[in-house]
Structure 1
Amino acid sequence: MKFLLARIIGNSLPPRHNSGQTVDNLRFLLENEPTEKCFKKVFIVNRIFNLSERNEVLELLREFDAEYVEIPFSLSEYKKVSISEDELLVNRLAKPSAYSRSLANDIERIDQIESVAKNRKKIIYAMNNNGARNFVIRKYRNDYNWVLPLDGNCYFQNSSLEVLKNELLNSDTLDKCFVLPMFRLGNNINPLTAVHSSLTPCEPQLIFGSKTKFLFDEDRPYGRRPKVDLLMRLGVPGAWDNWEYPPWEKHSDLESVYRGKFSYSKSWVFRLKSGEDCQEIGKEPWVSRAKARDSAILRVLAELDQR
């Protein structure tokens, strides 16, 4: 059996990420992550629009003789993407809801969220996270028994990779996916010695069997539940079960025909630090992440529009 382990390498987006975190974490992976002959590794360079960062990433991959595929960023294609004016925005904050009431006294945050919502199509093109995940699945699903379209900051220890290898070798349910637990690491946790059982799991990664038919929804932009949408369609329980949808966002299909097409993996993966600890492991880190992410998105779009 053959497995495809893909890492999707995207842009560093301060203040959500530390400046240069893409290159720093990629170097750590290339220098420290174990290899296993069952796993074919490939890196997906995903629309990196910062030219100096892109060049550093490519030089690093070549230095380690790592296989990669680039999904290029095109400024001319970005220019064609118009501001979204569709049904998702008709009732932006007009309908009373717990969500809107919770923001009633935070005008700056409301303006930030509305600006992100209006620029949905630009975000989908520039960030391309679900597009890149589906690219991996479509490109490799026919040639590998299992495909792992992982986020770029994901890191396996020897023990977790060995557990995953044995699990996949002994599974023949190729029409399902495995739900792979993920644990975020802060600045004071060494990925080489971290113990997953002492950490709190966060949003998991997904591993796709060669006979699966479902994909990520490419109409969901970065920061707007792009992965959680598929978790919900599969019926994977989690904190997202209690999340309320902002009025402009479309709902996940909870009656999906793919509901239940998953099993839990006994392995695990770490997410290397990518921002301040308050966004990773602090008190209510998802709140800090959301604000920093939206700020980063708007900053990037302003820079790209200026270019």
Structure 2
Amino acid sequence: MSQSPKTPSAQDVLWDSIEAENSGRIAQLESQVQALQASKASGRTQRTNKALADELAEQHQSLTKLEDELADAARRFERRFDAIAMMDIKPRFPETLKKEYRASALAKEPDDFVLYRIIGNDLYPRHRKGQSRDNLRFILENEQPLEGCKKRWVVNRIADPAEESAILTLLKAHHQEWIHIPFSAEEYRRIPLDFDCLPSPGYLASAEFAKLGPEQRQRLLTALYRFKNNYVMNNNGARNRALEAGLGEAKWVLPWDGNCFLTPRAWNRIVEDVRERPWLAYYAVPMTRVLDNQRLVDDHFEPEAVEEPQLIFRNDADERFNEAFCYGRRPKVELFWRLGIPGKWDRWKDDAWEQPRREMGPEAGQFGVAGWVARLYSGMGSLEIGTRQSARARYLVRQEAILSALQSLDYGAFVPNDDISTIKTKGVDELQSYAEKFDLSLNHCVERAGRIVSDIDKNEASFLKEGTDFFQDSLVLSLAWSSTQDFQYLKSAAKLYRRHFYCCTPSTDLIPENSLDVTLELHKTHLAVGGLEALAYFQVVTILVQNGLLSPIEKEIFDHSVTAYINRLWNDKRTRVPQLFTPDMLLEDDLRLLRLLSDAGEYSKGSAVVIESLSSFDSIIAEDGTLPTLLSARNSRSSVAKTLRMGVDLAAIAEVFGINYLEQKLSNGRSLSDSLKWFLSYGSDNWPFCQRDEFDQTLLDPLQVALKNNSFR
């Protein structure tokens, strides 16, 4: 007896359709590519060189476009394949699961739902600022009631107080229920970096790190910020909070992202699929991205949902989201792996610094696929197109946005960009700190300033000399003014500035019209001297501008020169070969650059320098806090003291970038404060290692003060 042919399933029909469509398109594109390549190879001797070059350029452009189309077609095929593969997975032990479910009290409960949507921080440039609030408003005004489903919200650690207030006001106005997880700046301030994720001690100061490309470095930095990321974004923490809250409210809990939108048709599909197989503990809901939210108002909208799914949990499900995985580093996908939900993530590889994945859990395979959900517009259209380039751009921009948000919070202001170019005002206190480093007393400065003013008036100013006299003379004049409030000292400092940088004539102090090129070259030459002299002079210029003695254009030129100097130092740091430098040389370079970045408000680069300098200490601090590589020096006590003093100076600046430099745990739980305690434990006269020359006891004072007065405590 012959059997009737098997009726193909909906998945089979969809698969055949997709396979035919993609195979045809790929074949067409391949044919065009081959035709172009053949065209390139023929007839080249029959044309002039120029005509041939023009034709080849045009064909190359067409070929590149076709190759991009081919790659996008392959990507669409791959995404559809992943979506179908997820639907085709058969649950493990279905009959056992059905039997256990039917025997449980849960089977007698209605299939009701509670949807928690989690609203977090807008991360520019991944999201437009205010996009979360706009999407919330769109949902509240346009999403219809969902049959058998309660709607709830989680307001998740929004760092911008004004944005948080606006969101809470909007929820209240629409009579919504929500869980509020507040952001605490004080709690955030105490969160360390995660140096345990590094492959080896001192990795960021190693040749291996220097070989990494920009994307790998960015991923590594994101991993170092894992604890801070987990606090601010609280991705899986908020999901688990919503899940726990929903377990007592309904049979099925949906802990979803805040930008998820459900049309009536999409919701009905989800409910039908879940109620058809309630004996499964989990459901994956494929997602689609939309570029125009208004399309969702039309209930006939039927997308191709192939993006990373949201999850539904039955209220007796055991699994939870892994809170060790932070935003941007596969927080939801880690649970897909745990449950055996297939997809493109099965082809992803881990970096050496990634958190370890959990093995498949006892409930792996106990999932189904239900309906679809829309992801509302992020405000960045170029990142939402379903192409290979946009997917890659989303990933890169997300990493950039995470670091930018965290570093700006560390720096003290939640701002959406890194466009801060002017020198921050430090004032007289900063100048006086430099005076101490140069052993300049205020009384001495007043006495010496009088002679400098006289020299300037006699046209014998130190701008005619080489070396650092110019920097120190300017510092002395400014300090004399701060002590006496005699404005002539600042006027003389302004004259000195113009004569030095603009080649002004002493008789007029007017800037020559043709001096701009000379001026920029002089700035470049003298600022390249670097060190404390140049750093102190940045504060002098700030005071001159504040008191109206330098014009805005002069300040603009100076800022431009400082920016160029910073970029030169930054590029030098990025291209240097670490093994050619000792750790103390690396620290000295980092300290000089960090002072500039701090004054310029460059929080992104500054944070990177802080972290890499910590890694230099990580390479020389032993498990007991000692610095063994320095103990064999001829004057080991002086060497250790000077190295630790650099650490103390770096710590003072690192505080500006929100990093507790002294207490930050490095590899094996060590910290710079451990080394300070070890070194200071020997007191004044008990140093047991080699010290040939007399030790300067004053080197101990700043170390003791730093250990005692760490403001992060």
Quote the Cα distance in structure 1 between the aligned partners of 2:403 and 2:258: 22
Residue 195 of structure 1 deviates from its aligned partner by 6.5
Q: Does 1:240 align with 2:349?
A: no
Q: Secondary structure at the match of 1:90?
A: coil
The structure 1 residue matched to 2:135, chosen from 17, 22, 25, is 25
Aligned-CA RMSD value: 2.3
- Distance, in Å, in 1 between the alignment partners of 2:234 and 2:122 is 14
CA offsets, 1:27-58, max 9 Å, x none?
Answer: 00000111034101101000111111101101
Matched, 1:273 2:377: yes
Residue in 2 that maps onto 1:123? 229
- In the superposition, relative to structure 1, how do residues 21 and 188 fare at CA in structure 2: closer, same or farther (>3 Å)? closer
- Residue 264 of structure 2 corresponds to 158
CA-CA distance at 1:187 after TM superposition: 4.2
**1:89 to partner: Cα distance:** 2.0
Question: Could you tell me which of 202, 214, 217 is aligned with 1:111?
Answer: 217
- CA distance in 2 between counterparts of 1:163 and 1:221 reads 31
Contact 1:116 1:298 in 2 (8 A): yes
Provide closer, same or farther for how the CA distance between residues 91 and 31 of structure 1 changes in structure 2, counting only shifts above 3 A: farther
1:216-231 to 2 correspondences below 5 Å: 216-231=321-336
Quote the offset at 1:201 in angstroms. Answer: 0.9
Higher relative contact order (CA 8 A, sep 6+): 1
Identity of aligned residues (%): 38
Q: Normalized per residue, which structure has more helix?
A: 2
Residue 61 (structure 1) aligned to one of 171, 180, 184: 171
Q: What CA distance in whole angstroms lies between the structure 2 residues aligned with 1:217 and 1:302?
A: 24
Pairwise CA distance, 1:196: 6.4
TM-score, with structure 2 as normaliser: 0.40
AA aligned to 1:281 is I
Q: Which residue, 296, 310, 325 being the options, matches 1:191?
A: 296
Work out the CA distance in 2 between the residues paired with 1:107 and 1:187. Answer: 36
Cα distance in structure 2, aligned partners of 1:195 and 1:91: 56
Could you list the per-position Cα deviations for residues 256-286 of structure 1 after superposition, in whole angstroms to 9, with x for gaps in the alignment? 2221121111x11000011423322242232
Equivalenced residue count is: 295
Alignment of 1:1-307 (within 5 A): 1=110, 2-86=112-196, 88-90=197-199, 107-173=213-279, 176-187=281-292, 190-193=295-298, 198-265=303-370, 267-284=371-388, 285-307=390-412
Higher Cα radius of gyration: 2
Separation of aligned partners in 1, 2:382 and 2:304:
15
Structure 1 residue runs of 5 or longer lacking an equivalent are 95-99
Aligned residue for 2:195, secondary structure, equals coil
Q: TM-score, normalised by structure 1?
A: 0.89
Offset at residue 74 of structure 1 (A): 0.9
2: distance between equivalents of 1:304 and 1:45? Answer: 19
In the TM superposition, residue 167 of structure 1 has moved relative to its aligned partner by 3.5
Please give the alpha-carbon distance, in whole angstroms, between the structure 2 residues aligned to 1:189 and 1:245. Answer: 38
Letter matched to residue 269 of structure 2 = V
Query: Which amino acid in structure 2 is aligned with residue 68 of structure 1?
Result: W
Per the TM alignment, residue 164 of structure 1 is displaced from its structure 2 partner at its CA by: 2.1
Unaligned ranges ≥5, structure 2:
1-109, 413-713
Quick one: distance in 1 between partners of 2:288 and 2:299?
A: 10
How far apart are the structure 1 equivalents of 2:356 and 2:385?
28
Kindly tell me: are residues 161 and 198 of structure 1, through their superposed partners in 2, closer, same or farther at Cα, counting changes over 3 Å? closer
The secondary structure found in structure 2 opposite 1:260 is coil
Contact map agreement 2:339 2:363 (CA 8 A) in 1: yes
AA matched with 1:109 = E
Asked if the contact 2:188–2:228 (Cα under 8 Å) also holds between the matched residues in 1, the reply is yes
- TM-fit CA distance, 1:227: 0.3
Amino acid in structure 2 at the alignment position of 1:270: A
Q: Higher strand fraction: Structure 1 or Structure 2?
A: 1
By how many angstroms is 1:216 displaced? 0.3
AA aligned to 1:205 is Q
CA distance in 2, matches of 1:188, 1:76: 38
Q: Indicate the SS of the match to 2:358.
A: coil
8 Å contact kept, 1:191–1:272? no
Contact 2:152 2:178 in 1 (8 A): yes
Find the counterpart in structure 2 of residue 97 from structure 1: none
Letter matched to residue 116 of structure 1: T
Give yes or no for contact 1:196–1:268 (8 Å, CA) kept in 2. no
Secondary structure at the counterpart of residue 147 of structure 1: strand
| 2-structure distance, mates of 1:259, 1:143 | 25
CA contact (8 A) 2:265 2:300 kept: no
Cα distance in 2 for residues equivalent to 1:261 and 1:168? 13
